[in-house]
Amino acid sequence: MSDATISTDASDLTDEAAALDAADELRAKRDAFTLEDETGADTVYLDGNSLGALPRAVPARLADVVAREWGQLRIRSWEESGWWTAPERIGDRVGRIVGAAPGQVVVGDSTSVNVFKAVVAAVRIAQERGAHRDQIVVDEATFPTDGYIAESAARMTGCTVRAVAAGDVPTAVGPRTAVALVNHVDYRTGRLHDLPGTTAAVHAAGALAVWDLCHSAGALPVGLDAHGVDLAVGCTYKYLNGGPGAPAYLYVAREHQPRFDSPLPGWNSHADPFGMDTAYTPADGAVRGRVGTPDILSMLALEAALEVWDDVPIEAVRAKSLALTDFFLRCVERYVPAGRVRSVTPAAHAERGSQVALRCADAGPAMAELVRRGVVGDFRRPDVLRFGFTPLYTGFAEVERAARVLADVLDEVG
Ligand SMILES: Cc1ncc(COP(=O)(O)O)c(C=O)c1O
Ligand SMILES: Nc1c(O)cccc1C(=O)C[C@H](N)C(=O)O
């Protein structure tokens, strides 16, 4: 839709957006991404909290991996091209973004599989401290996969699952808690949970904290080491822009590594994988979190995608993220008639991730129409419009335009 068809008086907010874009210290980073769509239309992409945009460095790197490393070097690439050690090497790159010193993050498998490894291994560590620890506390609004896997992990380890609101985890944990599994940012509401305070309370109860960082990594400082997190997992296809199905990661704090007893002890985590020993001897360090052969093409695409972060302070990302979501909320308030939408994302900065979720009637058809008009967010049933803001490539003028188009769409739909 052309701007000329939009009637809402917007002049001061468009001026403000232009000024914010001009002052944006991350603005140049946008050029590192492909954001044009196939028609050449300028889409406002606000779905980087589901699938991040393509970093421009990736296609050429992948072409080289396929044509040269695989095509010409073939088997030699496991060593000569650094394929074998890619999970740890790329894990360290992810670690820099989530506040983990080298040697504690390994990349591979899906988030779901890493939740399984982390929760079972954490229960085993907790039960070494006391066999009576038979409860896994899970945040009740969790992304479903975490809940399903926690249930299965509980059955395997003789535990039961107790689901509580994430904010109640600090008071719910006690002498029977083995592990608390919490999402750092809620995928539906965008609420940021208190990682330092919750982790401290879980520790005070003698239990271990496992965090799912899918919606916070690359959007805000996580500080895994600084806050004493025990284990953490996350995906790399959202704010880390690793690509569809990009490998996930597992953080095992150094202090737990000697006792990390993986429920999936594959040959890649063996101390001497090519010894082909029938007996399992775990490797030292983060390598213990590996399972089988890594998916090299996806993994090296991720490595190229992460180069974008080399000179980016995560604090600058957080500052811009909050400015973007603040500005979007103000534009929505100005343009959308009162009562038509209700933000379920907290207003307080300390409780907000990098998305805005608006509850409204007819959210499904409204999002379909928004996408048709070039504003891409997503719809979460039954009534949530989700807009994700990726500070590395989202601009303020786009945010203003998204809110204006939203107002027009809501005027026409329902
Ligand atoms: C919080 C959270 N955990 C886990 C997942 C998914 O895990 P997987 O990478 O295994 O699909 C998602 C999104 O897909 C998510 O938002
Ligand atoms: N992982 C996804 C996929 O494979 C297909 C479609 C969407 C996703 C997502 O990541 C969903 C996302 N975690 C969410 O917060 O809803």
DSSP string, 155-207: HHHT-EEEEE-GGGHHHH--TTEEEEEEESB-TTT-BBP-HHHHHHHHHHTT-
Q: How close are the terminal C-alpha atoms of the chain, in Å?
A: 19
Whether residue 99 lies inside any domain: the answer is yes
Protein residue with its CA nearest to atom 9 in ligand 2: 50
Number of domains in the chain: 2
Does residue 44 sit within a domain? no
The C-alpha atoms of residue 109 and residue 245 are separated, in whole angstroms, by 9
Q: Is 64 labelled as part of a ligand binding site? A: no
Is residue 237 annotated as involved in ligand binding?
yes
Cβ 83 vs Cβ 296: under 8 Å: yes
Task: Kindly state the tokens that stand for 329.
Answer: 């909320």
The domain that holds 327 is classified in CATH as 3.90.1150.10
Residue of minimum CA distance from atom 5 in ligand 1: 111
- Residue 187: what residue type? Y
Q: Which residue from 229, 230, 185 is spatially nearest to 389, judged by alpha carbons? A: 185
Q: Which residue has the tokens 């239990």?
A: 207
The answer to whether the bond into 87 is cis (omega within 30° of 0) is: no
Domain boundary among 260, 282, 309: 309
What percentage of the chain reaches a pLDDT higher than 90?
95
Task: List the one residue out of 123, 109, 114 whose CA is nearest residue 212.
Answer: 114
Please state at what angle helix 396-412 crosses helix 314-335, rounded to 10 degrees.
Answer: 30
Between the CA of residue 208 and those of 176, 194, 228, what are the distances in Å? 12, 15, 10
In a shared domain, residues 230 and 352 = no
Q: Are residues 186 and 154 in the same domain?
A: yes
CA 171 to ligand 2 centroid distance, Å: 31
Ligand with smallest separation from the Cα of 143? 1
Give the separation between CA 83 and CA 290, rounded to whole angstroms.
Answer: 14
Q: Which of 309, 326, 356 is the last residue of a domain?
A: 309
ipTM surpassing 0.85: yes
Query: For residue 284, what is the domain's CATH number?
Result: 3.40.640.10
Q: Does residue 43 belong to any structural domain of this protein?
A: no
Catalytic residue flag (residue 237):
yes
DSSP output for 261-324: --SS--GGGBSSGGG--SS--BPSGGGGG--S---HHHHHHHHHHHGGGTT--HHHHHHHHHHH
**For residue 229, is pLDDT > 60?**
yes
Q: Are 177 and 199 a contacting pair, CB within 8 Å?
A: no
Domain around 17: 3-34+312-412
pLDDT at 37: 85
Q: Is residue 299 part of a domain?
A: yes
Q: Which of the residues 33, 187, 237, 328 is marked catalytic?
A: 237
Q: Among residues 304, 290, 267, which one has the least CA distance to residue 66? A: 304
Helix/strand/coil for 385: strand
pLDDT over 60 (residue 5) = no
Question: Residue 362: helix, strand or coil by DSSP?
Answer: coil
Nearest CA to ligand 2 atom 12: 50
Q: In terms of domains, do 131 and 163 share one?
A: yes
Residue to probe by mutation, ligand 2, list 51, 114, 236, most atoms within 8 Å of CB? 51
The answer to whether residues 322 and 267 belong to one domain is: no
244, 277, 309 — which closes off a domain? 309
Q: How far from chain centre, in Å, is Cα 178?
A: 25
Q: Ligand 1 within 6 A of 183 CB?
A: yes
Is 8 known as a binding-site position? no
As to burial, measured by CB atoms within 10 angstroms (0-12 exposed, 13-18 middle, 19+ buried), residue 148 is: middle
Q: 160 with 254, same domain?
A: yes
Looking at the predicted structure, is the pLDDT value of residue 6 above 90? no
Query: Mean pLDDT across the stretch 29-41?
Result: 90
Q: Is the CB of 111 under 6 A from ligand 1?
A: yes
**Is 238 an active-site residue?**
yes
Give the integer Cα–Cα distance in Å for 20 and 356: 19
What pLDDT score was predicted for residue 9?
63
The answer to whether position 292 is within a domain reads: yes
Taking residues 345-352, what's their average pLDDT? 98
Choose among 51, 64, 7, 50: nearest CA to 304.
64
DSSP-derived secondary structure for 368-383: HHHHHTTEE-EEETTT
Catalytic residue list contains 387: no
- What the block records as the tokens of 369 is 């129409």
DSSP code of 58?
H
Both 294 and 373 in one domain: the answer is no
- Same domain (yes/no): 355, 301: no
Residue nearest (by alpha carbon) to ligand 2 atom 13: 50
Bridge pairing between strands 33-34 and 54-55: antiparallel
Residue to mutate (ligand 1; options 214, 354, 386; most atoms within 8 A of CB): 214
Query: Atom 1 in ligand 2: which residue has the minimum CA distance?
Result: 50
Q: Which of 188, 238, 288, 352 is catalytic?
A: 238
The pLDDT score that the predictor gives to residue 196 is: 98
Mutation pick for ligand 1 pocket among 47, 107, 143, 380 (CB with most ligand atoms within 8 Å): 143
Grouping H, G, I as helix, E, B as strand and the rest as coil, residue 212 is strand
Ligand 2 centroid, distance to 245 Cα (angstroms): 10
Active site residue 143: yes
Q: How far is CA 319 from the centre of its chain?
A: 18
Q: Is residue 124 part of a domain?
A: yes
Residue 305 shares a structural domain with residue 324: no
- When pLDDT is averaged across residues 187-200 and rounded to a whole number, the result is 98
Task: State the DSSP H helix or E strand holding residue 82, giving kind and residue range, or none if neither.
Answer: none
Q: How far is the CA of 234 from the centre of ligand 2 (A)?
A: 12
Q: Give yes or no for residue 189 CB within 6 A of ligand 1.
A: no
Residue nearest to atom 14 of ligand 1 (CA): 50
* pTM across the whole model: 0.97
Q: Do residues 256 and 402 both lie within one domain?
A: no
- Please say if the pLDDT value at position 3 is more than 50: no
Task: Let me know whether 255 and 322 are in one domain.
Answer: no
In a domain, 41, yes or no: no
Residues with CB under 6 A from ligand 2: 50, 143, 187, 214
Residue 345 marked as a ligand binder: no
Q: Are residues 84 and 173 in the same domain?
A: yes
pLDDT at 8 over 70: no
Residue 140 lies in a domain: yes
Do 305 and 385 share a structural domain? Answer: no
Using one digit for the tens of pLDDT, what is the confidence trace for 314-335?
999 999 999 999 999 999 999 9
Which two tokens mark 308?
Answer: 């974008």
Residue in this structure with the two tokens 């603040």, named with its chain if needed: 326
Q: Is 267 assigned a ligand-binding role in the annotation?
A: yes
What's the DSSP call for residue 33?
A: E
